[in-house]
Amino acid sequence: MALVGSQLRERVGSIYNKMRTVPRHRALTLTERLSAFTHLLSSLEYLSQPQDRRWGGLNNWNETRKTFNARSRTLTRLVDPWSTPRASTAVHGLRVAAATAVLLSNRRDVRAAGDLTLTATSVLLYPRHLHGTDGSDQVAFIAQTSAAIARLGEHRPAIVDAALWFSGLQAVLSYTVSGWVKVASPSWGEGRALDGVMRTYTYGDPAVWRLLRRSPRLSALAGHGVRAFECAAPVVFWRRGALAPAFAAASLLFHLANARVMGLNRFLWAFAALQPALLYATGPRERPDGTGQIERRDDTLPRVVAGLSIATAAALTTARARWARIVARGHGAERFLRTRRGTTLAYRHMGPSHPRRPLVVFEHGLVASSVHWEWVAQHLGDDVGTVVYDRAGYGRSPLGGAWNGLDSAVEDLCDLVDHLSPEGPVVLVGHSLGGYLALRAAARGKENVCGVALVDTSHPGELDRSVGQSRSAENLTRTLQAFAPSLRLGLGVLLKRPSWVDRLPQPVRRLALAQYRDPGMWQAGVREWAAVREDFARSEGKLPTIRVPLSVLTAEHTAVADPVQQELHDEIAAAAPWSHRHVLANTDHDRILTDTDAARQAADRIRSFLDELVDQREKTS
């Protein structure tokens, strides 16, 4: 028995050493052949499923080309010649021949021609197969392209090494990014993801799904194991690739399991094609070349990548600091209030107080800020006293003080109102989540609040009663989970400038963009969104007690796209002592504030509401 164990250890040790010291020519050959086999499987699948190209099929070109025609007629004309059924079948036949040549031929020129053919036809066919391509096709394209470059530059080892390094780094990047995306995903964090995947028709497996359903702990353990494995990919560089063979073996077992359970057969071969390059790039720099000579790996590419990464990190850090400075400066006209719970609120007066009119205090929505109210405040007129402020974590208001969910946000608003106008009268105007917070504040029975205007407001029952809102909530959760950590890394500069920024008044656009790209607003959004879901669930969809008159404004797009939301707004209006109810034409949830014409509509309705409140108060007095 001891002899068997010794022989097994020697065998495993021999395999381990061969994997760590795979020579250059062997790594290249394995990469191109495994990748070619992936392309072979892909083309054979295509040729065996002609129904996909017929009328009603996912890849019927007469339908697919409409998508391209809408984007670019020039691109459509370029793609048309090889997108007919006969032409695409011929291209796939060529790919089968090229892949076969790479797999069977020992001639380097034949393999180079095969690599180039597979690379070029992948580019040609990608637009044609709008549906059905996946990560395995992209990975196989990367591996085959790298192999083609290496074959063409084979007379220069540095070129081959750069190509192999590229494939190896791509493997590490693929696993690492996939792992961190799962880390940011609530379903993976809660252990629900695998259970959800296994119940789908496309990727599911009934037996595995039943097993995971019977054992939630096993489901959570398996999900956490997948995240840990993928996030651990960079360990392949530790101690000159000491762990790379173990990681490569684990990755093959991982994809083998995926092939069996989820039917992702091509993923097995595509990612296997990256492993030889990974082993070559992470192993000892000097190794036997298989002919009795010692070859030395050229590490220029990783040094360049490291240098560019450092420079990029420095640039991102500088950009983040610049955005943070802009946010910290704000408008420059802010005043500050220390609330009872210990946080500091930044607020700004935007109009002179008027003895006959109530003071208007604006409450912004989730992942927004006081700058969103600029147009509405301006359009209300110079004879209306207005105040805009940022909740804790937004703008110049830091994330401070004890946090007790939305109760804390409501308490801060009440403190601000008492500070600004302890005797009243005050009208609260809230957009989206800000509308719900304004209702909650008014429900506390504060005598200085005489009315509330709600602009496309949230309702505590919307996530249960509206399918559209429920879906949007899941999308928002994923967005917040991804954006908050990404922006902390300084990636805010990569965010596309949102169109709503350029609809705001010119003086606040720079500040609005800085807030959008700064992690502070998104961190506050993550905290508030968790509190929103908890609060809505606890309230069971019931509205707070409404003791004051309301003006309820709904964007036309909201009403048309989600009739349930309009019903919820009607319900809010009906719960008030008296109310104004309006649907504002030609606007949506965001434009109702950020578009000057839509904001003017909202301001006119709010002003009308203020006028009636004044008349009512004068009649009463």
Asked whether residue 483 carries a pLDDT value surpassing 80, the answer given is: yes
pLDDT tens digits for range 514-547: 999 999 999 999 999 999 999 999 988 899 999 9
Asked whether residue 59 carries a pLDDT value surpassing 80, the answer given is: no
Q: How many CB atoms lie within 10 A of CB 164?
A: 28
Q: Strand ranges (DSSP E) for 286-341?
A: 286-288, 294-296, 335-338
Amino acid 369: pLDDT: 96
Residue with tokens 């965010």: 495
Calculate helix-pair angle for 24-47, 265-272, nearest 10 degrees.
160
Asked whether residue 373 carries a pLDDT value surpassing 70, the answer given is: yes
Mean pLDDT of 428-437: 97
**d(C-alpha 222, C-alpha 227), whole Å:** 9
Residue 53 banded pLDDT, cuts 50, 70, 90? low
Helices within 330-466 (DSSP H only): 374-380, 406-420, 433-442, 462-465
Asked whether residue 74 carries a pLDDT value surpassing 80, the answer given is: no
Nearest to 435 by CA among 358, 518, 349, 362: 362
pTM: 0.76
**d(C-alpha 155, C-alpha 360), whole Å:** 76
Mean pLDDT of 35-41: 95
Task: Please state, for a pLDDT cut of 90, what percent of the chain lies above it.
Answer: 64
- If one compares 179 and 59, the residue with the highest pLDDT of the two is 179
Return the DSSP state at 454. E
Asked whether residue 481 carries a pLDDT value surpassing 90, the answer given is: no
Mean pLDDT of 213-239: 91
Amino acid 58: pLDDT: 67
pLDDT tens digits for range 258-313: 998 888 889 999 999 999 999 999 999 999 988 889 999 999 999 999 999 999 98
- By three-state DSSP, how is residue 86 classified? helix
Asked whether residue 586 carries a pLDDT value surpassing 90, the answer given is: yes
Asked whether residue 15 carries a pLDDT value surpassing 90, the answer given is: no
Q: Are 377 and 352 in contact (CB under 8 A)?
A: no
Measured torsion, CA atoms of residues 36, 39, 44, 50, in degrees rounded to the nearest 10: -160
pLDDT tens digits for range 159-206: 999 999 999 999 999 999 999 888 877 778 777 888 888 888 778 888
Residue 213 banded pLDDT, cuts 50, 70, 90? confident
Q: Are 609 and 581 in contact (CB under 8 A)?
A: no
**d(C-alpha 161, C-alpha 16), whole Å:** 21
Amino acid 495: pLDDT: 85
pLDDT tens digits for range 497-515: 999 999 999 999 999 999 9
Mean pLDDT of 348-353: 79
Q: What is the mean pLDDT of the chain?
A: 90
Residue 478 banded pLDDT, cuts 50, 70, 90? confident
**d(C-alpha 229, C-alpha 223), whole Å:** 10
Residue 5 banded pLDDT, cuts 50, 70, 90? low
Mean pLDDT of 71-84: 74
Asked whether residue 130 carries a pLDDT value surpassing 70, the answer given is: no
pLDDT tens digits for range 571-585: 999 999 999 999 999
**d(C-alpha 435, C-alpha 70), whole Å:** 39
Nearest to 162 by CA among 174, 150, 145: 150
